[in-house]
Structure 1
Amino acid sequence: MKKVLLSVALLAGTVAVANAQTTTRFGVKAGVNYTTFSGDGVENAKYKFGAVGGLAANFGFSESLSLQTELLYSQKGAEIKGTDFNFKLNYIELPIMFRYTLSDGKGPFLQAGPQIGYLAKVKLSDGDGNNIDLDNDAYQNIALGYVAAVGYQLPSGLSIEGRFNGDINSVGKDDDVNDQQRNRVFSVQLGYMFGGK
């Protein structure tokens, strides 16, 4: 009898925990980056535009607090002042952000957290659009950074946000090209989470 009561108690506890677990929603994102370099030796670097987009997952702990993770393809880099050279860095990025929505899961929201990126490709092009070969081994494969954003979530699942992200490690490896320069990015992103409220 004790075993039956214990089994029933464990089953009830499991159901209660399952009901208390997070609400998960998935979605897509797309937007535009406005990107350059920060750090030493960036006097000739100016902002350029790039694309950003990918997938998102939101794990809701309550109506207001959630964890948002994303898998993004993000174009970064800079243009060089006084020339037509366009420096392009293409990353696969994984931001992990805590998100606070001010009004029960919809309306204005704030989010912030760390980000890790993998450098997929480095390219340099001239004013005629010709690509100049660069050695990927001269650049850091992994970019560690941070993200902060403010946005607005509609009940339908559509959202818009302004985001800033920066790296804490350099673009280039030590004692190599761009070894004192870090990515700095402002972006505007549209998102859609399926299963809108």
Structure 2
Amino acid sequence: MKKTILSLALLAGLTTAANAQTTRFGVKAGANYTTFSGDNVDNAKYKFGAVGGLAANIGLSESLSIQPELLYSQKGAEIKGTDFKFKLNYIEVPIMFRYTLSDGKGPFLQAGPQVGYLAKVKLSDGDGNEIKLDNDAYQKLELGYVAAVGYQLESGLSIEGRFNGGINSVGKDDGANDQNRNRVFSVQLGYMFGGK
């Protein structure tokens, strides 16, 4: 009898959890405001870049969800006193825990880890001419963290302000930028299909 009651309680719990879970998919686009942090960054200043990609939101309860994303993100820095721009283009996968204040819509907070793959490094001058750099001198994988605050509309539209920082350096040991880490502020617009 105890086993039957326990089995029924477990089944009821799983059914409730399954009903509470919803998965939605969406798109994101925005702008990065990015520079370097760490040692020897006195000549680095902020520059703008683009960010965009895909997102999924996996509901765990009415207010709590997990949001993995696949983003293309332009990072780097501008060099003070010159028109040179150092550009790092990443493919990133943040996995964030998201807390929404009101049943999946309204204000939300999210935070979590992020892994990035460096797709391309380039340096350009004020005329837009590209100066070739050795991609092998830079770390291919970037480990980082993300924190964001935003607002989700019932229609599926959202806006958020986000900060993400790199944990490991941009450059390899004893190479260029070996003490520099990415620091990025971004504003992103999103749309989740299927409403809130």
Q: Once the 2 structures are TM-superposed, how far is the Cα of residue 20 of structure 1 from its aligned partner?
A: 2.3
Task: After the TM superposition, list the runs of 4 or more consecutive aligned residues in structure 1 that deviate by more than 4 angstroms.
Answer: none
Alignment partner, residue 122 of structure 2 = 123
TM-score, scaled relative to structure 1: 0.92
Q: Deviations over 1:138-196 (max 9, x none)?
A: 00000000000000000000000000000000000000000000000000000000000
**SS of the residue 1:82 aligns to:** coil
Kindly provide the amino acid, as one letter, of the partner of residue 167 in structure 1.
G
The alignment's C-alpha RMSD in Å is: 1.6
Correspondences of 1:31-110 after superposition (within 5 Å): 31-110=30-109
Q: Deviations over 1:105-159 (max 9, x none)?
A: 1100000000000000000001111100000000000000000000000000000
Kindly provide the amino acid, as one letter, of the partner of residue 125 in structure 2.
D
Q: Once the 2 structures are TM-superposed, how far is the Cα of residue 90 of structure 1 from its aligned partner?
A: 0.2
Kindly provide the amino acid, as one letter, of the partner of residue 110 in structure 2.
Q
State, as a whole percentage, how many aligned pairs show the same letter.
Answer: 84
Q: Deviations over 1:87-117 (max 9, x none)?
A: 0000000000000001111100000000000
**SS of the residue 1:38 aligns to:** strand
Kindly provide the amino acid, as one letter, of the partner of residue 104 in structure 1.
D
How far apart in 2 are the matches of 1:159 and 1:51? 17
How far apart in 1 are the matches of 2:64 and 2:128? 46
How far apart in 2 are the matches of 1:153 and 1:16? 29
How far apart in 2 are the matches of 1:55 and 1:130? 31
**SS of the residue 1:20 aligns to:** helix
**SS of the residue 1:84 aligns to:** coil
Q: Once the 2 structures are TM-superposed, how far is the Cα of residue 19 of structure 1 from its aligned partner?
A: 5.6
How far apart in 1 are the matches of 2:154 and 2:126? 45
TM-score, scaled relative to structure 2: 0.92
Structure 2: runs of 5+ lacking an equivalent: none
How far apart in 2 are the matches of 1:130 and 1:104? 50
How far apart in 2 are the matches of 1:184 and 1:20? 38
**SS of the residue 1:97 aligns to:** strand
Alignment partner, residue 181 of structure 1 = 180
Kindly provide the amino acid, as one letter, of the partner of residue 139 in structure 1.
Y
How far apart in 1 are the matches of 2:16 and 2:58? 14
Kindly provide the amino acid, as one letter, of the partner of residue 144 in structure 1.
L
